């Protein structure tokens, strides 16, 4: 007996977090499919009629009992959330996660021509191949990349959401949807989930709903505060991933950054830049596609509303910064921004409390055009001299023809006068 017990134990190797997550996803999907099949079968047989009284009673009982599958779905979902939490807190999952993701490769074919999809790797651009476009920045990177990589294979080519009711009309006679979200779940998906939280649910939501939720972002906060609890996740996000989310968030209007400590202004500077430039790249691609349709569509392409004006510029209108004075985080681990590229920020109107080192991203070869800037304020930082302030801030002052409010936190009037001379 001891021998057989040892043999059984040897054959049962411990599973990795990514394997647990994958098996849990499969189990959850099978439970949902079984529930839907039972309900559909019962509905069809009840509508057909002709069954005996005992058969009808049995069908009604089976339909009622199928509600227990909802309980099972909730239990499995809670288990998957617990697995994700363990992965986020277990640093040993990172090494195995990178190797697993390298085998999958990027699968988001809609954006295969983007710079973010063409370049893969770690936060600074080094390391092995990895689907960083969709990977979570922390331990769950492996299961997220694996989920994204086989999404197109696992799911049939059909919309992942549909309209189920129109006011004043009878509901369509269709089987229940594969995925039915409650009002609270929809509010989370379309309102409050962080990028990596959406990524964890991508396999379940489906491609269309996932893309729609990401495009629905209008306000996004890079939260480095101690209270927020997501500082390390933002700090570890690869720049290619941030660029990708900037592309997805094509309706983003306000980008806010909470710095973990006021003297650490370079924290997540590369992430911040990548989000802005990814958003601008996506808007430009949309505009180019619209122009192509208009040119190739003839009369159909010109039959657009008179008020329709293509918007090639970034959708971002406000950029703002805050300091978390309660934080004790003093280590700047963020890598430098991505290589420079021309960006049209002609929708940008307000920049609030920008630190000196964030302002420096426009120095040199990075070309950002922001002609409509009305409000521009710079925060005060220790350790930077007058020449640093002038050099970093002057690039923001150039060609500001519509500037209405300007302020830089310095007691030197000559610095303010010198900067205003650039506008």
Q: Tell me: the pLDDT tens digits for 17-67?
A: 777 877 888 888 888 788 778 877 777 776 776 667 677 777 777 777 766
Measure the CA angle with vertex 112, ends 108 and 118; round to 5°: 110
Whether 279 contacts 246, CB under 8 Å: yes
How far apart (Å, rounded) are the C-alpha atoms in residues 170 and 247?
39
pLDDT of residue 143: 41
Percent of the chain predicted with pLDDT > 70:
54
Whether 116 contacts 162, CB under 8 Å: no
Q: What is the pLDDT of residues 373-398, one digit of tens each?
A: 899 888 765 555 556 666 666 677 77
What residues have CB less than 8 Å from 402, skipping those under 6 apart? 371, 372, 373, 374
Q: What is the pLDDT of residues 289-327, one digit of tens each?
A: 888 888 887 544 444 554 455 566 789 999 999 888 776
Mean pLDDT of 181-203: 78
pLDDT of residue 197: 86
Closest CA relative to residue 215, chosen from 195, 237, 241: 195
* C-alpha dist (Å) from residue 191 to 63, 85, 213, 245: 34, 21, 8, 15
Whether 379 contacts 412, CB under 8 Å: no
3-state secondary structure of 301: helix
How far apart (Å, rounded) are the C-alpha atoms in residues 241 and 414?
41
Closest CA relative to residue 70, chosen from 146, 179, 171: 179
Burial of 108 (0-12, 13-18, 19+ CB in 10 A): buried
Q: Is the pLDDT of residue 414 over 60?
A: no
């Amino acid at each position: 007996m001891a021998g057989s017990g040892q043999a059984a134990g040897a054959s049962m190797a411990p599973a990795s977090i990514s394997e647990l997550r994958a098996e849990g996803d499969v189990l959850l999907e099978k439970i949902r499919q079984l529930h839907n099949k039972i309900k559909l079968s019962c509905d069809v047989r009840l509508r057909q009629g002709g069954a005996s009284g005992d058969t009808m009673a049995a069908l009604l009982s089976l339909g009622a009992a199928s509600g227990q599958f909802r309980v099972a779905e909730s239990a499995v979902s809670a288990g998957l959330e617990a697995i994700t939490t363990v992965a986020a807190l277990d640093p040993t999952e990172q090494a195995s996660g990178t190797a697993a993701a390298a085998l999958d490769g990027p699968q988001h074919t809609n954006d295969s021509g983007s710079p973010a999809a063409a370049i893969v790797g770690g936060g600074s651009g080094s390391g092995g191949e990895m689907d960083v476009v969709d990977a979570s920045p922390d331990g769950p990177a492996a299961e997220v990349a694996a989920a994204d990589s086989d999404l197109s294979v696992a799911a049939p080519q059909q919309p992942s959401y549909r309209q189920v009711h129109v006011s004043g009309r009878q509901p369509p006679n269709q089987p229940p949807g594969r995925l039915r979200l409650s009002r609270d779940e929809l509010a989370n998906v379309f309102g409050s989930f962080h990028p990596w939280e959406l990524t964890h649910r991508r396999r379940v939501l489906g491609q269309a709903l996932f893309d729609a939720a990401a495009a629905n972002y209008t306000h996004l906060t890079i939260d480095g505060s101690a209270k927020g609890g997501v500082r390390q996740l933002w700090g570890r996000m690869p720049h290619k991933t941030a660029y990708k989310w900037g592309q997805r968030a094509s309706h983003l209007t306000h980008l806010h950054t909470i710095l973990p400590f006021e003297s650490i202004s370079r924290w997540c500077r590369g992430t911040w830049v990548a989000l802005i430039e990814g958003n601008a790249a996506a808007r430009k691609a949309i505009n180019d596609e619209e122009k192509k349709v208009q040119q190739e569509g003839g009369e159909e392409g010109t039959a657009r509303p008179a008020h329709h004006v293509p918007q090639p510029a970034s959708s971002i209108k406000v950029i703002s910064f805050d300091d978390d004075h309660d934080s004790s985080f003093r280590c700047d681990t963020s890598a430098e921004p991505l290589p420079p590229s021309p960006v049209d920020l002609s929708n940008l109107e307000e920049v609030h409390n920008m630190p000196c080192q964030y302002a420096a991203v426009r120095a040199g070869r990075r070309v950002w055009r922001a002609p409509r800037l009305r409000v521009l304020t710079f925060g005060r930082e220790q350790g930077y001299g007058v020449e640093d302030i002038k050099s970093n801030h002057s690039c923001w002052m150039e060609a500001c023809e519509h500037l209405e409010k300007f302020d830089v936190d310095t007691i030197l009037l000559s610095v303010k006068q010198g900067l205003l001379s650039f506008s």
